[in-house]
Structure 1
Amino acid sequence: MAERLRNQASAYLRQHADNPVDWWPFGEEAFAEARRRNVPVFISVGYAACHWCHVMAHESFEDAGVAHYLNERFVSIKVDREERPDVDAVYMAATQALTGQGGWPMSVFTLPDGRTFYAGTYFPPRQLHGLPSFRQVLEAVSSAWRDRPDEVEASAAQIAAHLASAQDGNRRLIGTLELAAGTQPLSGDVLEAAVGAVAEQEDSRFGGLGEAPKFPPSPLLRFLLVYGAGGRPGAGAAAAIAGRTLETMARSGLYDQLEGGFARYTVDRAWAVPHFEKMLYDNAQLLRLYAHWSRSAATADQRQLALRVSADTAHWLAKRLRVDGGGFASSLDADTLVGGKREEGATYVWTPAELRTVLAGAGLDADLVLSLLDLDTGRMEDGKSTLHFGRSLEPEEEQLWQSARDALLAVRDRRPQPERDDKVVAGWNGLAVAGLADAALALADAGDPGEKAAELLDLARDAAGYLLRVHHRDGVLVRVSHAGAASGIEGLLEDYAGAAEGLFALFAATGEEQWYLAGEELVLAAEQRFIVDGVLQDSAVRTDQLAAAQGALSAADPMDGPAPSGTALFAGVLVTYAAYSGSSRHRALAEALLAHVQLVAARAPRAGGWAMSVLAQALDGPRELAVTGSDRTLAGQLLRAGRAAGGPAVVVAGGPGGESAVPLLRGRSAPEGGALAYLCRGMVCSRPVSDPLELAAQFRAADA
């Protein structure tokens, strides 16, 4: 029945191609069909790696009776929330307004014009714990549509008005982007308050923030590392919270102790039992965070841990998510198909007996290796356990575990593996490019002989090249590609800004000006496409249905989720671009976008982490480091010294100088056969130096 889904870019949609439900992809044709038949629309939203999405699909969408009822009385639309976050955001807001909660799978019922009148999340096949069955929901909705149309219309109008009010709130939060000279100067006072608020939320026993479930707070960790690298009040506390969280996650079941890479979250407070899906947007951010932490961690053991986690996560990206042509796929499934049945986490968990057999077969002391693990805390309902340490390891314990990893991984690689959602998302790939570039620098600066660092830089170049070759066409960035072909909607603000973030990071790592120029093009295009009458938008093009669903009002949502918001990413690349180009207009635009941080930093720091990191960077200048000259060895030493002293927020450019395409490098000359470093703020530079120690001293003086 669902032939319309068979050739979609989304693996999630393709998973439903054999359902008896007559699915449509989201679009005008589906809503036109609902108008023609005068039936309501059922919108099912999920994503390929979602365990409960698979459960509901098996229980309901594969059921012939349920499918017949849907096909007879509804037009059914299947949406991948990762491919269409614009659709997901609107209907998630409606679901939360109606139920007080959200999640996936999301089940939404709308009028043929797109306005919501009823919604929920997962519905079971039979009534359970007070939750109606999916069939009961369908019957109730169909009855209301047929017998009480006035009530349905009134509900839809009320929900649309509520969503319009929320959009108006976002408009007021960001404000009108007036770039007059009288713009209020930025203040960093709220950032210290935000650190205090985060400290109150820290889990003093298990690390991280709050209770279960535990998610990696990646955008917030970026803020804590950036703020912790400066000399402002509370910097030490920020760095300490970041360090404790990063070390805890690296020693936990959230992290794949055999292969690298992080799961989406853990269901328990102790970080031991993950929800096993692995997402590109999480891992792209985390490999970069661990690379940054490797420069600032308090102890040598922590620095080595950070480097290893960053390098292993990059290796995992290359092994498991890289697609032909160099891009990165979106995710690995939470479930593994074993004997025709989906089992959550089946690839990753072990019984004690299985561990002992493998370890003994490798000639290792199984009892000693198992004593490193906390199998009890990591035990799941079926008696199998995750590989969870829950504590720091001594150097000799670390060495023993490294000996055990290869043997365990070799056995695990022979098990059935989770399915991959191989659609490529532009913005997430930009974050991956940035993570790989910064991880390569961290490895090189820590004394890597060059092989691993060079490999990661090549991966970053390949992914950046894929984005520009496949996703960027006729000046427009397309959000999704599959099998090397872009398809679907134009990229969102998060795609343009995320891709630019990666391109600027790759330029900083390589000095190759093509990446700077491509990043510049995306920043300028985003400015033109996403600011409408002084209001920032997340989408350049909005469908009639989404416009109707939220009362025709729209504005960008500045709050972070698991990935940074488009607003925060855009503010960040504007600060970076202004530092490279000297553009006061783009600096002013960035400051206007950061004004909302004053309101949210202390109240909701976990939702404003990336923007707070950009504000901290902007308050620091940001500091700009230009290194020019033909002596590549000395230039490399100066760049390494600047990265070590400047922290994750310093804007770096290296190259020959002279007639560079990058204004920061232009006119920054060096003696023939030498190299010079210029430490600048707003294009105004300190005396150029050729001694790395002198450059580090300039950074210290700037912090004083």
Structure 2
Amino acid sequence: MAAPHRRPNRLIHEASPYLQQHAYNPVDWYPWGPEALERARAEDRPILLSIGYAACHWCHVMERECFEDPAIAERMNRGFVNVKVDREERPDLDQVYQTAAQILGSGGGWPLTVFLTPDLKPFFAGTYFPPEDRHGLPGFPKVLEAVLDAYRNRRDEVERVANRVVEILRRSAGGPAGADEPAETVRAGAGDGDGGRAGGDEDPGAARGEGRVADATVAAIPVGTGPSREAARRWLERAASRIARSYDPEYGGFGRAPKFPHATGVAVLLRAGALGPRAPLSSRRGATDPAAAHLTPSAGGPGPAPGPRNPADPSSPSTDPGGAQRYLDMALHTLQAMAMGGLFDHLGGGFHRYATDRAWLVPHFEKMLYDQAQLVPLYLDAHRVTGDPFYAGVARRTLDFVLREMAAPEGAFISTLDADSDGREGAYYVWTPDQLREALGDPDDADLAARWFGVTEEGNFEDGTTVLYRAVADADLPALARELGTDPAELTRRLESIRRRLLEARRRRTPPGRDDKILVGWNGLMIAALAQAAPVLDEPGYAAAARRAAAFVLDTLRRPDGRLLHAYRGRPLDVPGFLQDYAFLMEGLLALHAADGDPRWLDEADRLARPMIDGFWDETAGVFYDAPEEAGTPLVRPVELFDQAVPAGGAAAASALARLAVITGDPAYRRTAEAYLRRTAAMAEEQPLAMASTVLLQADQLEGYTEVTLVGDPAAPVIAEWRRRLAGYYLPGLLLTVRSPGAGTERRAVWEGRDPVDGRPVAYVCRNFTCSPPQTDWEGLRRALGVG
């Protein structure tokens, strides 16, 4: 952390907020680059590689405990070339060395601590290390001395392990990091700990499967055999049935603790449930104002109220033979539980990174742009399926948080908000009863706030503080109103007043730090979320925000040769764009065109497709590389087929290309998307939670897209109204484009034969190479779509 009385190290000149956090450490840090690597080779020193990110709580802890300690820093400087990397700035380095850490048996997470030979081969790894032996973890000084001893006195062993790690890395590219083929481990003699596995900010890749690309049997999945809704339904049912094995029937979500949102996995359950045969929806609740939307299931003891019933219980009254209702209930239960628990910020909106407990009660408090961007479309889809304004309210409050707290002056969006403030994790977000009374003034309001948000003298977090959660369900609101001698509408207004006053009081606290880097890929995800929300929530400001972000990224972070850069902080950073930057931005641009009809966004998505294919696609292997060659990623060019905190870049790239193939008619786009699925679909069927984005892509291909072309001025009221109404339906295969008057069909195969009629706005619905007659009113368009 900044300490002006000290001399800064080299990191003071770096743009990354994470690297600048370490600029006044007594450690002789280098950024990743030729200077550090040349010194390691010239002096034959091992490299101590430390990877983290600005919002990482345990990164801050290790900095305070170890990197600020002069004695520990002296040992680091004496024996190693110390290199600090921001994982968000160089995701390729993080990907390679996280994989290596798993091969070495230390697990993964942040901070990642890896020891390398001068030729960048890893031989020992861990995550967080304390300054002395603690909780079964070896102290960092002991680790340093043991690793240095091994490097100097057992060099053959070090080299053997390092070479074995690289061998497994290269053989398993595209699969999980040697999950079934561990390397030896250098016996560093540092104690019985596992190198810091407990305590680091864990990699959400717990759902990673155990297979490899080479294990996939491509003949098992019918790719390119013609669209079929029934084939898509069966495919989704098989995937959902496997995902359901990991479902937590009591609290929703997958697994136990820590518990991550796994947005794509929930999306598979929702789609399998919504599109399969099922009982009438039981979750329409007629909830209150979406801006203050609450949930109605009865509270079930301490912690957030669970869903209305146990979806995994075979005696549940709406269980159906195909499981569709059950899968839908699992998805809705998970979405309800996340939004009712401490994972959601009940004062300011938005989601924290993950829950440390099974019940979604106590989060890891950092807020990531990519989580908000992925969860908003999920809640919008739940609203479309159920008609319940609760889900729309969660989406609205999340987007309002993003626009308020994560919008950059340039028009795009920053990366993260820290977990810590005043040196304490979660200090900005937690409350005591005394703090409620001080903030609200009125003791009756303070008592009501404590009851509503579960604040007690004992607390549920550290030092008697409470993470706010919804302790009272909406179903109980009328009874609470009667108890207080008021009516539900007045009580709802009072609760909203309390929320606003508490939020205002919270703003007077020291806020969490901000990592104000602008990352292209994460902005692409947020552009898509805003664009999808604008017509559903009837909020034009969301589309305007998406347009500003898209224009900034395209105008500022694209090179003259058409290729993207990865990041911006005060200036474009000299880091080339990664696969996710292209894929997520393309998907965002397609969603933005569907929201506002501007043809620019189709043109821009099309322009990005060819550089993406040329720069990342391997025709022989049938996969996309995650990093461009010019990034100079060491040891292996990474390929990730599994969803992590964000969808797999290859699946997102193939999805964007599949849609663009329909729009443009470009056969290269279609061939690439189909080849990717031939390579990955069988593996996705075996490991659907780990590869849920690929499952969804395959469902699109099996079912085929529903092409809706609106012909007319995009700004015309009738066209805007049709877009708004279409957005209210759950149509995951909808491919919506708007053809402006006079627009030609060059690279717009989707518009061929879909012409204006007598100068009036018209709509065409096409599916399986068959189009409806031109529709001139909403009722005709609705009937052509076959929706109610």
Match of 2:248 in 1: 203
Structure 1 counterpart SS, 2:113: strand
Match of 1:459 in 2: 545
Counterpart Cα distance in 2 of 1:175 and 1:425: 36
Offset of residue 92 of structure 1? 0.7
Structure 2 counterpart SS, 1:269: coil
Matched, 1:353 2:434: yes
Aligned pairs for 1:470-509 (under 5 A) are: 470-474=556-560, 475-483=562-570, 485-509=571-595
Counterpart Cα distance in 2 of 1:76 and 1:32: 12
Structure-2 change in CA distance of 1:626 and 1:681 (3 Å) = same
Counterpart Cα distance in 1 of 2:708 and 2:610: 23
Counterpart Cα distance in 2 of 1:13 and 1:496: 25
Q: Is the 8 A contact 1:191 1:602 kept in 2?
A: no
1:137 alignment partner AA: V
What is the aligned length? Answer: 676
Match of 1:3 in 2: 9
Offset of residue 73 of structure 1? 1.4
Encode CA deviations 1:540-598: one digit per residue, 9 max, x unaligned: 12666612xx4xxx452110012101011111101221222233432232122223554
TM-score (norm 1): 0.91
Q: Is the 8 A contact 1:641 1:696 kept in 2?
A: no
Structure-2 change in CA distance of 1:680 and 1:33 (3 Å) = same
The runs of 5 or more residues in structure 2 that have no matched partner are 1-6, 176-211, 278-321, 478-487
* Aligned residue among 430, 443, 450 for 1:370: 450
Counterpart Cα distance in 1 of 2:680 and 2:119: 36
Please identify, of 427-436 and 21-30, the stretch whose mean Cα deviation from structure 2 is larger.
Answer: 21-30
Match of 1:609 in 2: 692
Offset of residue 657 of structure 1? 4.9
Matched, 1:336 2:421: yes
Structure-2 change in CA distance of 1:401 and 1:584 (3 Å) = farther
Q: Is the 8 A contact 1:207 1:245 kept in 2?
A: yes
Structure-2 change in CA distance of 1:607 and 1:194 (3 Å) = same
Match of 2:359 in 1: 270
* Aligned residue among 236, 243, 252 for 1:191: 236
Offset of residue 308 of structure 1? 1.7
Match of 1:643 in 2: 727
* Aligned residue among 130, 134, 139 for 1:133: 139
Match of 1:23 in 2: 29
Match of 2:186 in 1: none
Counterpart Cα distance in 2 of 1:679 and 1:413: 49
1:429 alignment partner AA: N
Offset of residue 696 of structure 1? 2.2
Structure 1 counterpart SS, 2:516: strand
Match of 1:326 in 2: 411
* Aligned residue among 76, 92, 96 for 1:90: 96
1:244 alignment partner AA: H
Structure 1 counterpart SS, 2:575: strand
Structure 2 counterpart SS, 1:491: coil
Matched, 1:676 2:676: no
Aligned pairs for 1:299-310 (under 5 A) are: 300=387, 303-310=388-395
Offset of residue 229 of structure 1? 4.1
Structure-2 change in CA distance of 1:502 and 1:580 (3 Å) = same
Match of 1:56 in 2: 62
Structure 2 counterpart SS, 1:216: coil
Encode CA deviations 1:527-547: one digit per residue, 9 max, x unaligned: 111013533211112666612
Aligned pairs for 1:476-555 (under 5 A) are: 476-483=563-570, 485-535=571-621, 536-541=624-629, 546-547=634-635, 550=636, 554=637
Structure 2 counterpart SS, 1:6: helix
Q: Is the 8 A contact 2:215 2:683 kept in 1?
A: no
Structure 1 counterpart SS, 2:415: strand
Counterpart Cα distance in 2 of 1:114 and 1:542: 17
Match of 1:156 in 2: 162
The runs of 5 or more residues in structure 1 that have no matched partner are 445-452
1:265 alignment partner AA: Y
Offset of residue 345 of structure 1? 0.5
Encode CA deviations 1:190-219: one digit per residue, 9 max, x unaligned: 421111122232222112222111111112
**Percent of pairs identical after alignment?**
38
Match of 2:262 in 1: 217
Structure 1 counterpart SS, 2:74: helix
Match of 2:81 in 1: 75
Match of 1:447 in 2: none
Structure-2 change in CA distance of 1:614 and 1:237 (3 Å) = farther
Structure 1 counterpart SS, 2:627: coil
Counterpart Cα distance in 1 of 2:46 and 2:33: 15
Matched, 1:259 2:265: no
Structure 2 counterpart SS, 1:653: strand
Match of 1:653 in 2: 737
Match of 1:317 in 2: 402
Counterpart Cα distance in 1 of 2:665 and 2:769: 6
TM-score (norm 2): 0.81
Q: Is the 8 A contact 1:174 1:595 kept in 2?
A: no
Matched, 1:663 2:741: no
Structure 1 counterpart SS, 2:411: coil
Matched, 1:468 2:554: yes
Offset of residue 689 of structure 1? 1.6
Counterpart Cα distance in 2 of 1:183 and 1:29: 50
State the Cα RMSD in Å.
Answer: 2.5
2:448 alignment partner AA: L
Encode CA deviations 1:9-46: one digit per residue, 9 max, x unaligned: 31111111111111111123211110111111110011
Encode CA deviations 1:428-463: one digit per residue, 9 max, x unaligned: 00000000111111112xxxxxxxx12111110111
Matched, 1:101 2:100: no
Counterpart Cα distance in 2 of 1:597 and 1:650: 23
Offset of residue 174 of structure 1? 7.7
Encode CA deviations 1:388-422: one digit per residue, 9 max, x unaligned: 11564246365443232111111001111000001
2:626 alignment partner AA: D
1:261 alignment partner AA: G
Please identify, of 89-98 and 579-588, the stretch whose mean Cα deviation from structure 2 is larger.
Answer: 579-588
Match of 2:708 in 1: 625
Structure 1 counterpart SS, 2:592: helix
Match of 1:564 in 2: 647
Encode CA deviations 1:338-384: one digit per residue, 9 max, x unaligned: xxxx01011100002222343443x8543333322333697102110
Q: Is the 8 A contact 1:19 1:61 kept in 2?
A: yes
Match of 1:449 in 2: none
* Aligned residue among 494, 500, 508 for 1:414: 508
Counterpart Cα distance in 2 of 1:516 and 1:208: 36
Matched, 1:14 2:20: yes
Counterpart Cα distance in 2 of 1:390 and 1:615: 40
Match of 1:285 in 2: 374
Q: Is the 8 A contact 2:417 2:512 kept in 1?
A: yes
Encode CA deviations 1:605-656: one digit per residue, 9 max, x unaligned: 2211212122222222111111113592332333334333452331111232
Match of 1:143 in 2: 149
Encode CA deviations 1:315-349: one digit per residue, 9 max, x unaligned: 11111111121111110000002xxxx01011100
